[in-house]
Every structure is written in structure tokens, then in C-alpha cells.
A and B are shown apart, each in its own frame.
Chain A
Amino acid sequence: MIRIANGQGFWGDWLEAPVRLVEQGPLDYLTLDYLAEVTMSIVQKQKQADPNLGYARDFPPLIGRIAKLLRQRQVRVIANAGGVNPIACAREVRRLAPGLKVAVVLGDDVFPKLDSFIEQGHAMANMDTGEPLSTIREKVLSANAYIGAFPLAEALATGADVVITGRSTDTALALAPMVHEFGWKMDDFNKLAAGTVAGHIIECGAQSTGGNCQADWKTIPDFANIGYPIVEAEPDGSFAVTKHKGTGGRVSLDTVKEQLLYELGDPQKYITPDCVADFTTIQLRQDGDDRVRVTGIKGYPATTTAKLSISYMHGYKAIGSLVYSWPDALEKAQVADRIVRERLLNLGLTFDEIYTEYLGVNACHGPAAPAVEQIPEVQLRIGVRGADKKAIDRFTRELVPLVLNGPPTATGFGDGRPPVREVVAYWPALVPKDLITTHVEVVE
């Protein structure tokens, strides 16, 4: 049996979580998931500004902080912290933790190859809209293939204490040590699917141990010291989900089920580079306090395509808000919204979208929100998006004047006009798998 924990559900997750996972109990592997769909574009920009950057900058200091403990307790780390510059990330880790052996997995970054892919006849059509990549080619900021567990297992085989990848799948981080330790093969579909499901359960950190859990949330103990998830994996593909003793949170059928369904599409076709997992075969059983056993998982052969995560410059947006108080709070906010729209029209400004919400009334649930009779206050929130940065910038001047020249009791304008932000959008696409080649490098 091996213990695999996840101490980071996204870049920006709780800094103490990975430290506590290593400190507070037995562990063999610590995984850290830093990448969301648009993170690659952010790190790409950082690399363009400074060729020594372009990775998750929280990661090297973390390893520096826990290096001694990792050594003492024989815990190995696997993280997709490399962004678009895994080598630079590895060098910084080596600088802060000279005693650790570091390996990187390369080959996910296909940005330099995009034109040759197009020349070879690969349209890289957007999986949601069907449009070919050529329509936005010159706006592309980054392009990365999702890497599965086998290249990561190859990196573990070098004996590295720390394995750094670029755009690996979230689930590969947990599956890789199982492949490495148990010698699973590429056609062990049921086992690969089981490891993938384990990875899915822990990839969002505390979301499987009581965080963001709707079921009986008021009774979940000690959120302040919530334990992050640990998978105890067996060579036969069965596993248990648990957390360190004495930590806060909860591992129950409810918390695990909620996470299993999180960001799920067709449950019978959970597609990764390693296999296709069938979530309708998962069997759960409570196996003591804060411990759920998972068995029965069926899997199928991986598809013949590799998924690309492409980001591109889409345009600009700005979102501003004002607060109106009782009486007639909602009515005042609605009048203010009409005024803003009329003034934008009078200026001849057009946008791809103008969107208005009334926070405190129905912004989250729309028509499904319960009715409120007397609204104490409401936040009017107006957003605009478009290609013309000047038009967006002009919009940001149109909210604050309403405090003096619109309906009464407008407040909440303390931060002045809202910032204009770049919109970097996500373009998922498929290419034949053989276009993607990976290799492992040990960084001295």
C-alpha cells in the first residue's frame, strides 16, 4: 500500500496544507496541482517578460521550506508546477533545496509547433464551437498538450525526490506513483481507471475532505485545521480515501460523492491520456471514521487523440458596481442600469456583451432564487466585454457619476472606477496522439 496526498487544489490554495500533510502523519507521495485552464497563458506572459520565469512561483519556496522533512520522511513530490518553463522551475527548486534530486517531464509545450501542425493538416478545431484554430492563430498565447501518468512514472523511475511537469492532467499526478510502484501497464485499463478516479477525488484538495460540502456542512468539524486528502492505494486498484488523524474536516460517503461528481461530463466516458474511466462502476463504502473505501472501477482503452489546452487573447472586460439601500433598493438599481446603458448608447459605444446583475436579489440563481419582500440593500453589478479597449475604458467612467446624478442612496463606490482587464480565453482542441512526444530530464 502507498499513501498519496494532494496538498494544492489550484495555484492559490492554502499555503499551509502541503506542509501539514508532510508534518502530521505518514505519507509516500505529495502531489500538488497548480494548473487551471488559463494558468498557462499567465505563465507564458511571465516567461515573455523574464525568460527565467513562467512557472508556479509558490512551488520552489514551498520545497525549500519542507526539504529537510521530505528527506527525513522519504516523501517524494509530484507537481505540475513547471508551467511553460519546467527547467527554470527545477533550477530554482535545486537552488533552495540543494539536497534533493529533481526531474522534469518535457514535451507538453507545443506552442512552437502549432504552425507545423496546421501545415500538416491538423485543424485543431475548438471542441466546443468547431471553429478551426486558423481563425485565431495570431492571437494564440500558449498551447500545451495534456500529459498522462506514464511520462511522470518514467520521471519517478530516475529516483528523483521531486518531479516537475508542465501541463499534466490533474489525475496523472496521483496515478503516476501507482504506475511506478505497482508496475501497472498501459493496458491495465481497470487499474488505470481506478487510479484516475483516485486522482479525481483528491485533485481539488479539501473538496473531498469536507470543504465546499453541502451535506450537513454545519456539523463538519474544525474547518480551520482541515486535513487535505490522502489516498491509500493498493496494487489491485482498490483504494481508500482518508486524511491525517487529528485534522479537521470529514471524509464520508457524502463528501466523496460530491467530489466525484465535480466538473464531471458523461460519467461513462471520463477521458484522460491514460484511459477512459467509467464512473457508473464506482462502489463506495464507509470504512471507519474519516475513511471511505473505493472499489469496482472499470476502465477502457485510451483514445487515439491528445487534448490541447490553447489560450488566446480574446479582448477586454470591466465590471463595476454600486450599492443602493432601502427603500426601493432594487428599483433604484434597475433605473441606474437603464441610465448607464442609455449613456453608453448615446456615446455610440457597442460591446460584445453588457451584463447586469443585482447582488442580494438573484445574481447567483436567477429565476430560481427565492423572492424577497423588503430588500435592505442591493449591489448593482454591470460588466462589459469587447474587442475595443477604449470603449471598455470609457464604460469604467460611467458608474461613479451616478452617485450624484442618478437615483438616491448610491454608495459602495470607494474603489473608484473598475480596472480594465484583458480576457484570455481557452481553446480546447484535439490532435493525433503521436504528435506529442515527451522526455524526462534530471536537472543538476
Chain B
Amino acid sequence: MKLPLHKIAHARSGDKGDASNIGLIAYNPANYKIIEREVTAARVKEHFGDLVAGDVVRYELPNLGALNLLLYEALGGGGTLSLRIDAQGKTMGAGLLSMEIDMEESELA
């Protein structure tokens, strides 16, 4: 079945220069394996389309049931250079939560 990510995870995002950092956290740590499988760097890049000019790099923190995603060249230069309303990527985490993910009903904890 397909489910929007916000059903099983929450997120917070911020900036590191021109990169947006998104912390994505499974509400139930038992569902971490689903986000680890589904939320790949490539899928995140595809989800945000031309909003992210650079690469997406993913780090895993299984101890927190969480992923840390770095979206490079995503903030229009970042910091004071950016002309974007969301120059610091504060809403990027929420933007990720609309992504549809695939899973078997039985694996949902």
C-alpha cells in the first residue's frame, strides 16, 4: 500500500550554508526500517525536483530511528545571499513529509 510519509514520520529542517538539512524521524522506532528502505537519497532528490540543484546525501542514525538528509544547493545560495522566502530551509522537512512511500500493510508497526 502507499502512504504519505507524514503518517509514520516527523521532521525538522534547517540550513548548513547552501545545503538544507532534514532530520527525518520515525514516530515508532520499529518503523525505522521502512523509512530507511523507502527514503533514499535519489527519491528525495526526485521529490523536490528543480528546488534542489545539487546532490542529496543521506546519513543513518538507527539509534534515534532517524535519517539525516543533506540537500546540497537547495537554498538559493544560502544565508544572506538567498532570495528565497525560505532561505534557511525551515519548511523543507515538512515538504518531505508529503512523499508517498510503499509498504506491505503487515510490516507497519
Contacts and interface: CB of A to CB of B under 8 A. Distances in A.
B50 A214 contact: no
Contact of A366 (B49, B59, B99): B49
A259 interface: yes
B48 A368 contact: yes
B49 A355 contact: no
A191 interface: no
A368 B84 CA distance: 16
Contacts, number: 142
Interface residues of A, number: 51
Contacts of A282: 63-64
A258 to B, nearest CB: 4
A381 B85 CA distance: 8
Interface stretch (B16-24, B34-42, B101-109): B16-24
B14 A319 contact: no
Interface of A: 37-38, 128, 207, 212-215, 254, 257-268, 279-284, 314, 317, 319, 353, 355, 357, 359, 363-370, 381, 383-385, 423-426, 428
Contacts of B97: 214
Nearest to B91: A364
13 contacts: A37-B79, A212-B12, A260-B23, A262-B12, A265-B21, A267-B59, A280-B62, A319-B83, A364-B85, A364-B94, A367-B48, A367-B50, A368-B99
A262 B98 contact: no
A270 B10 CA distance: 23
A245 B49 CA distance: 45
A140 to B, nearest CB: 15
Given A213-B12, A425-B81, 7 more contacts: A128-B18, A254-B27, A267-B59, A357-B85, A365-B48, A367-B49, A369-B95
Contacts of A385: 77, 81, 83
A258 B23 contact: yes
A425 B79 contact: yes
B69 to A, nearest CB: 9
Contacts of B92: 364-365
B67 to A, nearest CB: 9
B3 interface: no
Given A259-B12, A314-B80, A364-B91, A265 B61 contact: no
A72 B62 CA distance: 45
